[in-house]
Structure 1
Amino acid sequence: MKIYTSIIVLFAAVAALAQEPAAETVGDSAQVAGIVFNGVVQDSSFAPGEKLNVEILESGEALQTTVGTPFSVVLPEDTLWNVCVTNSDTAGAEKEKCYELVYTGSERSFSQALGEAFAEPDSTHAAAGDSAGAIPGDSSGVILSGAQAESKDLDPNSAAPADTAQPNDVNVDDLLAAGDNTKVTELKKVVVQLRKRPKRKPGESVVTAKSIKRMPGLAEADVIKSVQALPGVVASSDFSSKIYVRGGAADQNLFLFDNAVVYSPVHFFGLFSTFLVEGIDDVQFYKSGFPAQYGNRLSSVLKMEGRAGGQDTVNEWFSKSSIKVSTFAAQLHTEGHQGPARWVFAGRTTYIGYMLDLMNAVGLLDLDLDYEFTDLQGTFMYNVTDDTRLKFSFYIGKDRLSFDPLYMDWGNVAIPINLTHRINGNWDYNVTLAYSEFYQTMKISDLMSIEMFLYTFSAKQWLNYRGIANHTLTFGYELEYDYERYQEKMATVSVADIQKPLHHVGFLQDAWKITPDYLLQYGMRFNYHEASEHFGVEPRASLTVNLDDSKTLEFYGGYYLQYLNALVYTDQETLNDFYYPATKTTSGRQIKPASSWLFATEFSQRGILDDYDATVGLYYKTQNNLNTFVTQLDTSEDSKSSKLVLADQFGTAEAYSFGYELSLRKEKGWWFGGINWSQSISVMKTNDGTKPYYPSWHQPYALKMDLGLNWRGPEESMSVHPTQKDMYLRSSVVLKYSAGMPISEYKGYYLSEHIGHQEYSDEVVVIPGSRNAARQTDYFRVDVKAIDVGREGKWNFSWTIINLTDHENMFFTFYDTRKNPPEKTSISQFPFLPIMLSYEYYF
């Protein structure tokens, strides 16, 4: 395989011993204490003289350097290190590359190591079968031996460039200032890998595409379900993929696909989230302290980037394609790479209605449902120059549901265009032009219909500046135009409402590395919303303190505004949200944006007993000016219905929430997984004089556990296939135990006899209890991916069992007044589903 001549990175293949080591040789490898690694970064994607940060992930040790300047860093006692090079410490960083160094050298004198490290290439040094070639393989790499480099294709999925090092470009005298008697150790083989393991930013959680695919699901890898597994994130039921974060409502979460907003990324029945894993990189999720460049939401930001397709070192129109067939859906994807262009396209459709008919026939379910959806997703990336990159993406999703007498259809469209341009080593410019669309129709026979169409056009540009030592400044401007049409018909009454708000946003942020152990990120967000005539300022700050190499303490505080909110008609969960902007009522009353103060702190410790990472978090959040739907109109009696706007029927509510979260994870080894526990309280109070109540997403406690097992495979596993080393066999299990969600339970009923116009009749009157004063029974569910077998980049088969214990989790309870006497009835969530199958083939 051809290795392109552009220099990706140069790490000098020499490590000088800081002291006289005691080397213990096992086979062909040795473990050496106190190794000093000397290197220099010469990467064409970084500008000459650009400021860089170098970090050893295992120890947390970090230093600052510039492109082309030699540096030295101490490696801990190990034979494998992960070195990350980035041009920023902050959320404004656009470039970060991580490399895995595998030491297998032996101790020798300085003159011997120097001579061999820069000797002429010898093809015998980097044989793939050498013991040093045992590489954890989930991305492409380059094996170096002295001055010679030989490519090794480890994973065609990798989107990371990997090229040869040029040791002759290095001044050895600058790299090694050591005496003739100093003993050194050569890193005889170095595996240079670009791994999708970015440095975590303040307040951010990263969910990898790899972990999403590993989780048990309804035969489909699910982006949103993977986020629901995090502490502090509530999933209200099996039938929804909505998320509720730290006491906030579902509409308070900002979903971004390549910086374009996606309003309601859900499909029916909780079976699928909208985004296709084959087309995205890792998912960035902020549930605390998200930066000032993100706004118009109160609770969280879930950011997905479209993946660059194709292999780095090969120009192919179809580098990789796949077809996937599961119990409920079929999916197709393809990707390629030609010169400066790379792309990936994916699509999915469902045949869930036919499968439900089959399950009904065999007695597994009793559900008559006519439902279908489609998803299309793609990314095209073009490197105009070494300094300029253009990226075009799209997502299109459509759903249709018929469940007599209910009919619904809805859909999402997101089309972002992103341009990134590096001006020089200190400046880079970014711009996003995006179009988003969300529509839905809901009809109940001929009695009622609701339609909503929401179109968003946005332009956002921002600059990152790194010219001040230890500072990264980010400042930008965003303009958003929304067109919303809402129409409600009930019997002979029809109300139509059109809103066209314009939203101006400016933001400033600075990430100040006060010392190597203190990072302060602070900023302001300025809003002017024309429809509500509201000017708002949002201050935000976070402080990260590295107590030592393994312990970190973080503090967050901020004020958040939301000008586009969902309408809440009932405490029962709805499939989608109906959005409406802050505006003015017919009588001139101003609808203020929803607002929130958030304060949180988090302590984390890495490397407990070498393999475990622990996190403890606390938070307190207020919410104000939340929109509620009331029946009393805010207008005069002589106003005509044609002049009314939906805001005339708005009331307001206040809320607060607080809680704590505990998490313990193990990411390495043949078994991996984690456990997290959270307890919280959420309380809401409307301004109509009623007493406070728990919102429908209030979850007092939750225990979530996941476990993955690598029985066989090229990664860390119990065994390796004797002939097919890329063959894997895995299993995984997910457990959730939590408090039941709040419900307004009916206390009972009585028969009321009244006189009508023509006749006497008996009517059942159901007596409601206090609002959300009762709870569903506790929730318990175990999902098992019993078999996950295949060959890397070739094929995969999986078998998943949903609700292994067949636990009856309550969804809703009511009195069936059609029966005499009326019968109290409960509807359960997912039953035992043992036939979740999936087969995927790559070609």
Structure 2
Amino acid sequence: MKLQICIIVLLAAIAAMAQETASDSLALDTLAPKGIVFNGVVLDSSFAADEKLNVEILESGEALQTTVGKPFSVVLPEDTLWNICVTNSDTAGAEKEKCYELKYIGAERQFSQALGEAFVDDASMDSVAPAGLQNDGSNAVSRDSASVIAQDGHPGAQRRDPEQSASDSSDSTKEDVNVDALLAAGDNSRVTELKKVVVQLRRRPKRKPGESVVSAKSIKRMPGLAEADVIKSIQALPGVVASSDFSSKIYVRGGAADQNLFLFDNAVVYSPVHFFGLFSTFLVEGIDDVQFYKSGFPAQYGNRLSSVLKMDGRAGGQDTVDEWFSKSSIKISTFAAQVHTEGHQGPVRWIFAGRTTYIGYVLDFCNYIGLLDLSLDYEFTDLQGTMMYDFSKDTRFKFSYYIGKDRLSFDPLYMDWGNIAIPFGIYHRFNGDWDYNATLAFSEFYQTMKIGELMSIEMYLYTFAGKQWLNYRGIPNHTLTLGYELEYDYERYQEAMASISIADIQKPFHHVAYVQDAWKLAPDYLLQYGLRFNYQTAAEHFGVEPRASLTVNLDDSKTLEFYGGYYLQYLNSIVYTDQETLNEFYYPATTTTKGTHIDPASSWLFAAEYSRRGILDDYDATVGVYYKTQNNLNTFVMQLDSNEETTSSDFVMADHFGTADGYSLGYELSLRKDKGWWFGGINWSQSISVMRTNDGTKPYYPSWHQPYALKMDMGINWSGGEDALRKHKKKGRYFRSSVIMKYSAGMPISEYKGCYMSQELGHQQYSDEVVVLPGSRNAGRQSDYFRIDVKAIDVGREDSWNFSWTIINLTDHKNMFYTFYDTSKNPPEKTEITQFPFLPIMLSFEMYF
């Protein structure tokens, strides 16, 4: 459907426009003190009368609430392109969202350019055309007013037939414009053309129940080790624990690290970490906003107990330009280098990115000048990309890939590991009420760990998955989702430790079917409920997972959410020790050699959250509480009869499993400010996590237990656009700084009670050996954790270049990582290994071209 839309922009004050926008759907202001002000009113018939809506500016992250038929106003950043999205504020699941892409061409003094080209893009048009782009026909525009007048035919006109000619549309819009009245504004009036308006239907709202959205823009602004880090941005959220500086693992609301599901375009990514947590696994240039569920994730996601972190490959290129290389960048930091390029040609869009490290050479240089005393043989590579092809306005194909490889040699430790994720996705829409989604995905995770000649562990995990689901909106106030998944895992696990050698191959199939309904009980009530059915062949286990959430919008600024559900996990990591491990060693629920079925891990979760937006206009607050159980967690225990003669073919890993049960509970407080010349947030959480194994020992705190944590972050826009403390003279230039602080309880440790001298005489050899007596399991705690990171300089020009300087651990606080007793000394000497020291050398330069 092609509609000719007349768009006229005049420079003036916004006050006079308030009376004129009763039926205008778009308005734009270019006041110098405030920047560009967007005024609008939603009249689209696809939204119900008086329905509450969210309005979001994607570039700035600014969001507000409005109601159908009522005017609203937001400030646009001074960029050349804006994306303005309007979505149902109190709905979940797959719902309607209208996005308007506005391109600012520039102010001109010639009125003839005001009647430029503007159109609705058919490729992204919803089956229900927008009826809200209307003008009341009043052409009285004062000298001091500014507006964008967008028309869809005469006032009150019905939607046109798709076959209606563009010339008919053009004539009907132009005849409502009183040119003389507009020219009467005088010579000082400036007219700006709005080049293109794209109205599209997206199949998800900006926030679903239980979901947190972290924008790629905010990830880039956070201080880091000279790299924008996806996982570290999630660690900053309340209820999420990072065990140490040396890992990018996350522990969510008392759950273990393997209980988090990482999805890249619906393909699972196992243990996405690089060494020492120095680098994010995923390249921020290649992803959209990160969706994170830490409670109440819907029935569509499963096989994990604690959280879902979903990343979608970003569509490359620009909507308005067909170019093979519309945007590229090179980034060089202290420890790594990265390149990316993207483009758009007709129905095809793509983005490719890659990164590698030279950390070993940098550390050698630091050792040479005396800055550090650490030698490291380490390297990694990342490759990531996405390609999208639009067959038609209703059918889209998407192909993505992520490949990451690491190798570490740190005598006597040797490790290599890597991830591969390759998803193929297709989307098709049927007659407005149905849409079909399918993903075929291949995932690989491998790792080898050797400690001299003492121990060797190898694991190869291959996953082939087919996922498909249907969304149906034909029933008023309901969105139904039906889905089926089939996953095949091939795992080969080999271990050689002391006198024990095990080689184990598992090949389970995992069938999943789920049904879910998002039911809008009333304008302010949404009930989302569903069932997930599982059958896994290796354990011969059938399980049902009920899920439910209730969202209540108390008013335009206050929301109350409740969650409850049962979760199953058929693929768990093997817990060897309470000490921090770099990666996870996954193993499926299966059957032992004695015929015993290993049940999947399971959890009951109950949570509630209260959020309030717009406190003192700028602040958003959230309060959350939760309680969750954990059952059938796999632990590794050696229970072999020493009198038996065994070989690797006689046993599987499941023969050595014990189980543990536990619970966790806590509360979280969060306050954020995301608008203005300074932005930031503070969150506080308190929790308790308790575990108990089935071997009769007393309960203990798991290694990730963190009783309290305080996290703060703040950024300052010193100069730049309209939201900066001082407006920069050059368009697009900015200078920012940011800081992150974390104070938390130390992680649990098993302290030692004392030592004694053991004297043995045998085999004609006498030895004196110091034996250290351990105390209760994880009964002690490390010293409290404290760290401040500062991105002192973040300067550049939008879409052109950027330079940043980050200081890690500004106060050089000694945060404990590991402690042990050196028994070679008498008496034994307690030795502590600390985490990151003061690191002032984190530099990064990035250039776009």
TM-score in terms of structure 1 length? 0.84
Whether the 8 Å CA contact 1:310–1:316 is kept in 2: the answer is: yes
The answer to whether residue 544 in structure 2 is matched with residue 540 in structure 1 is no
Q: How does 1:621-632 map to 2 (within 5 A)?
A: 621-632=628-639
The CA deviation string for residues 414-441 of structure 1, in whole angstroms up to 9 with x for no partner, is 0000000011110000000000000000
**Mean Cα deviation higher: 729-738 or 356-365:** 356-365
In structure 2, distance between residues paired with 1:8 and 1:88: 30
Contact 2:466 2:487 (C-alpha < 8 Å) held by counterparts: yes
| 1:325 aligned partner | 332
Alpha-carbon displacement from aligned partner over 1:593-628 (angstroms, at most 9, x marks no partner): 000000000000000000000000000000001111
* Residue identity opposite 2:262 in structure 1: F
- Mark the CA change 1:18 to 1:647 in structure 2 (over 3 Å): closer, same or farther: same
Does 1:457 find its partner at 2:461?
A: no
What are the superposed Cα offsets for residues 676-695 of structure 1, whole Å, 9 maximum, x if unpaired?
00000000000100000000
Q: Pick the aligned partner of 1:219 from 226, 229, 235.
A: 226
Q: Which residue of 1 aligns with 2:802?
A: 796
- State the match for 2:703 in structure 1: 696
- Corresponding position of 2:682: 675
Q: What residue number does 2:614 align with?
A: 607
Distance 1:480 1:429, change over 3 A: same
Structure 1 counterpart of 2:654: 647
**Residues 749-758 or 831-840, more deviating:** 749-758
CA–CA separation in structure 2 for the residues paired with 1:767 and 1:567 = 26
Partners of 1:437 and 1:454 within 8 A in 2: yes
Distance 1:8 1:595 in 2: 57
Pair 646,706 (structure 1): closer, same or farther in 2 beyond 3 Å: same
Residue 412 of structure 1 aligns to a residue whose secondary structure is strand
Partner of residue 578 from structure 1, selected from 585, 590, 612: 585
CA deviation string 1:516-571 (max 9, x = no partner): 10010000000000110100000000000000110000000000000000000000
Opposite residue 123 of structure 1, the aligned amino acid is Q
Is the 1:634–1:648 contact (alpha carbons within 8 Å) kept by the matching residues of 2? Answer: no
Post-superposition offset of 1:54: 5.2
Q: Is the 8 A contact 1:59 1:549 kept in 2?
A: no
Secondary structure of the residue that 1:306 maps to in structure 2? coil
Change (3 A) 1:820 1:606: same
2:542 aligned partner, one-letter code:
F
Partner of 1:108: none
In structure 2, the residue matched to 1:37 is 41
**2:70 aligned residue:** 74
Residues 626, 652 of structure 1: 8 Å contact kept: yes
Match of 1:311?
318
Deviates more, 1:490-499 or 1:418-427: 490-499
Counterpart Cα distance in 1 of 2:321 and 2:40: 35
CA offsets 1:390-421 (integer angstroms, 9 cap, x no match): 00000000000001111100000000000000
- 1:735-754 equivalent positions in 2, closer than 5 A: 735-754=741-760
The 3 A distance-change label for structure 1 pair 737 and 768 is same
Q: CA deviation at 1:360?
A: 2.2
**Structure 1 letter corresponding to 2:658:** G
Aligned positions of 1:408-427 closer than 5 A? 408-427=415-434
- The 8 Å contact of residues 56 and 75 in structure 1, kept in 2 or not, is answered as no
One of 287, 292, 296 as aligned partner of 1:289: 296
Is 1:321–1:334's contact at 8 Å kept on the other side of the alignment? yes
Separation in structure 2 between the aligned mates of residue 324 and residue 317 of structure 1, nearest angstrom: 20
Shift of 1:513: 0.8
In the alignment, which of 428, 434, 438 is matched to residue 441 of structure 2? Answer: 434
Distance between the aligned counterparts of 2:822 and 2:242, measured in 1?
27
Contact 1:414 1:435 in 2 (8 A): yes
User: Out of 460, 472, 495, which is 1:488 matched to?
Assistant: 495
Determine the structure 2 residue equivalent to 1:344.
351
SS in 2 for 1:293: coil
Alpha-carbon offset, residue 95 of structure 1: 6.2
**What is the distance in 2 between the residues matched to 1:528 and 1:461?**
17
Structure 2: how far apart are the matches of 1:618 and 1:841?
44
Aligned in 2, Cα 1:101/1:356: closer, same or farther, shift over 3 Å? closer
Structure-2 residue corresponding to 1:167: 151
The answer to whether structure 1 residue 60 and structure 2 residue 69 are counterparts is no
1:292, distance to aligned residue in structure 2 (A): 0.2
Give matches, 1:514-593, under 5 Å: 514-593=521-600
Structure 2 CA distance for aligned equivalents of residues 824 and 736 of structure 1: 27
Q: Where does 1:148-159 land on structure 2 (aligned, <5 Å)?
A: none
Structure 2 residue matching 1:281: 3-state secondary structure: coil
Alpha-carbon displacement from aligned partner over 1:468-489 (angstroms, at most 9, x marks no partner) = 0010000110000000000011
Task: Name the structure 2 match of 1:772.
Answer: 778
Indicate if the aligned counterparts of 1:7 and 1:165 stay in contact, CA closer than 8 A: no
Tell me which of 512, 529, 551 is aligned to 1:505: 512
Matching of residues 185-204 of structure 1 within 5 Å: 199-204=206-211
Q: Is the 2:491–2:506 Cα contact (8 Å) retained in structure 1?
A: yes
Whether the aligned pair in 1 keeps the contact of 2:40 and 2:72 (CA below 8 Å) is no
Structure 2 match to 1:123: 113
Residues in 2 aligned to 1:205 and 1:37: alpha-carbon distance in whole angstroms? 27
Aligned equivalent of 2:237: 230
- Displacement of 1:12 in angstroms is 11
- Which one of 381, 391, 410 corresponds to residue 388 of structure 2? 381
Equivalent residue for 1:154? none
Q: Which amino acid aligns with 2:387?
A: F
Compute the displacement of 1:36 (Å). Answer: 8.4
Aligned residues: 760
Amino acid corresponding to residue 734 of structure 1 in structure 2: I
Aligned match of 2:97 = 96
Normalising by structure 2, we get a TM-score of 0.84
Q: Tell me the CA shift for residue 816 of structure 1.
A: 1.2
- Residue 12 of structure 2 corresponds to which residue in structure 1? none
Give the direction of change, closer, same or farther, for the CA distance of 1:322–1:387 in structure 2 (3 Å limit): same
Distance 2:423 2:89 in 1: 25
Displacement, 1:448?
1.6
For structure 2, the 5+ residue unaligned runs are: 10-16, 24-28, 57-62, 77-81, 105-109, 118-132, 137-147, 160-181, 186-190
Distance 2:326 2:341 in 1: 8
Give the direction of change, closer, same or farther, for the CA distance of 1:83–1:834 in structure 2 (3 Å limit). Answer: closer
Q: Structure 1 residues 696 and 207 mapped into 2: Cα distance closer, same or farther (>3 Å)?
A: same
Q: Tell me, what secondary structure is at the counterpart of 2:258?
A: helix
Matches of 2:73 and 2:281, distance apart in 1 = 45
Identical pairs, percent: 74
| Partner secondary structure for residue 621 of structure 2 | strand
Aligned-partner SS, 1:367 = coil
Tell me the CA shift for residue 9 of structure 1. 9.3
* 2:361 match: 354
**SS, match of residue 631 in structure 1:** coil
The aligned counterpart of 2:372 is: 365
1:665 to 667, 672, 686: 672
Letter in 1 for 2:400: S
Shift of 1:725: 1.4
Give, in angstroms, the shift of residue 93 of structure 1: 2.3
Offset of 1:338 from its aligned partner? 0.5
Change (3 A) 1:28 1:770: closer
1:209 and 2:216 aligned: yes
Q: Is the 8 A contact 2:240 2:250 kept in 1?
A: yes
Whether 1:829 aligns to 2:809 is no
C-alpha offsets along residues 183-217 of structure 1, whole Å, 9 cap, x if unaligned? Answer: xx99x989768999952110000000000000000
Equivalent residue letter for 1:601: A
Closer, same or farther: CA 97–747 of 1 in aligned 2, 3 Å: farther
